[in-house]
Amino acid sequence: MESALVKDNPLLLPLNKEKTIYDGFITVQERDFRLRILLPPDRQVKQARLHCCWQLKHLLHGYEHIVKQRQQQSPDLVTFILELKTVLEVGLKSRHECRSIPPPQYYAQLISEMETLGWGKLLFIDTEFRTLRLKAEDSSRRQHILNIKLKPKHPVEAPECSADLPVPLAMTWTPQSTLEQLHGQFLLLLESLTEFWDVLDEIDSKTWILEPEKPSRSDTMRRIAIGNNTSIKVEVDPRHPQMLPECCLLGAEHVVTPLRNKLNANMHLWNPDSSVLHNLRDVLEIEFPSPATHEKSSFSVECGICYSYRLEDAIPDQVCNDPRCGQPFHQACLYEWLRALPSSRQSFNIVFGECPYCSKPITVKMAAQKS
């Protein structure tokens, strides 16, 4: 916990070796606020006392009950600090927005820009006329959304833009720029990514995707089902989508090893003029199970410990290597299970134990801590 706290909040450090007094700064929107946290000897966050600098106190004014509530609900200090940051961000934002109501010419400017762009492209505008959502269609008829947050000094100040893209959205803006030009830049960027989305759309429609659960346009990773609790994780480069992607085979060793050997042996056959899915088929010498040939349920085998498929965001990706067993588990479930057994032993972050199903040796790495 301490290392996570120090990593996320390098300015907040324990003052004593019991780690019951933390002192330093909390950073919110590039501003540092002095903060001291006193924990009881059992280091329960519920009982912690906060000493805030006056700016912090001022900012938290009216939010005290929320802070108290978050404190009661946070299992540890790291979680609580993150919660506190969120509350502070909301506080800073609302104070900032009250101060800045745009002048009348702002609205006139906005309406004239929207007229040039075409009202048909407007999907949404908020009641303050500050946040806009514009729609855009790429040449493959995929629909995209450009989120725009206008500054009170628009168009002198550049608007904030965001979109569901696998690359950073870098927009050029000068005081003479307009929403139409912004939309034009967005369309150009979309065109540069059509090949990437073509590659992924083909994979999504012709294979069973285990992860992400609902891929968005910014997701570059796909975990594709191969069968027998085996899958391949590919990371497609949005700028070079047809090139050999980063691949990682997951599953029991006796299934994965021959596939990995084929991948290594056939890698040179990768043809950048052909699609990623075709290349993967050729290189691995397999047919991927597809929605046309298989039910998804045959790949979403539940964890042998908690009997569910999805655990938070994780799917059972630890597989018993015994060919007759092959039972999948969630990493977190298997780790907790093995750690609780006296016969298991741990070396660094790896636990060695026995498969709960077949009692053959099995190992698991410590589950990554969620921050």
Choice between 263 and 320, CB closer to Zn ion: 320
- The kind and range of the H/E element at 133 are strand 131-137
5, 283, 303, 351: which one binds Zn ion (CB under 5 A): 303
Residue 153 vs 254, nearer CB to Zn ion? 254
What is the closest distance, in whole angstroms, from the C-beta atom of residue 341 to Zn ion in the complex? 14
Between CA 3 and CA 361 the distance in angstroms is 31
CB 75 within 8 A of CB 115: no
Does residue 306 touch Zn ion according to CB under 5 A? Answer: yes
* Closer CB to Zn ion, 241 or 328, in the complex: 328
Nearest residue to 156 (alpha-carbon basis) of 170, 171, 176: 176
Site for Zn ion (CB under 5 A): which residue of 66, 325, 366, 367?
325
Q: Which of 39, 48, 46 is nearest to 19 (CA)?
A: 39
Residue pair 117/134 in contact by the 8 Å Cβ criterion: yes
Shortest CB 356 distance to Zn ion, Å: 8
Total site size for Zn ion, rule CB under 5 A: 12
Span near Zn ion by CB under 5 A; candidates 151-159, 186-194, 296-304, 363-371: 296-304
Is residue 367 near Zn ion by the rule CB under 5 A? Answer: no
Instruction: Tell me phi and psi for residue 209, to 5 degrees.
Output: -95, 125
Q: 364 and 318 in contact (C-beta within 8 Å)?
A: yes
145 near Zn ion, judged by CB under 5 A:
no
Sites for Zn ion among residues 102-141 (CB under 5 A): none
Is residue 301 close enough to count as binding Zn ion by CB under 5 A? no
Nearer residue to Zn ion within complex by CB, 240 or 365:
365
Q: Output 33 or 337, the one with its CB closest to Zn ion.
A: 337
How far apart are alpha carbons 322 and 361 in whole angstroms?
9
* Smaller CB separation from Zn ion, 99 or 324: 324
Q: Pick from 56, 110, 333, 338 the residue near Zn ion by CB under 5 A.
A: 333
| 355 touches Zn ion by CB under 5 A | yes
Secondary structure of 138-175 in HEC code, one letter for each residue = CCCCCEEEEEEECCCCCCCCCCEEEECCCCCCCCCCCC
Closer to Zn ion by Cβ: residue 183 or 223: 223
159-189 in b/e form (b: 16+ CB < 10 A) is bebebebbeeeebebeeebbbbbbbebbeeb
352 touches Zn ion (CB under 5 A): no
Q: Is 221 in the site for Zn ion (CB under 5 A)?
A: no
- The distance of Cα 10 from the centroid of its chain, to the nearest Å, equals 23
**3-state SS of the chain: helix, strand, coil percent to 5?**
35, 25, 40
Nearest distance, CB of residue 297 and Zn ion, angstroms: 17
Q: Which residues bind Zn ion (CB under 5 A)?
A: 303, 305-306, 311, 320, 322, 325, 330, 333, 355, 357-358
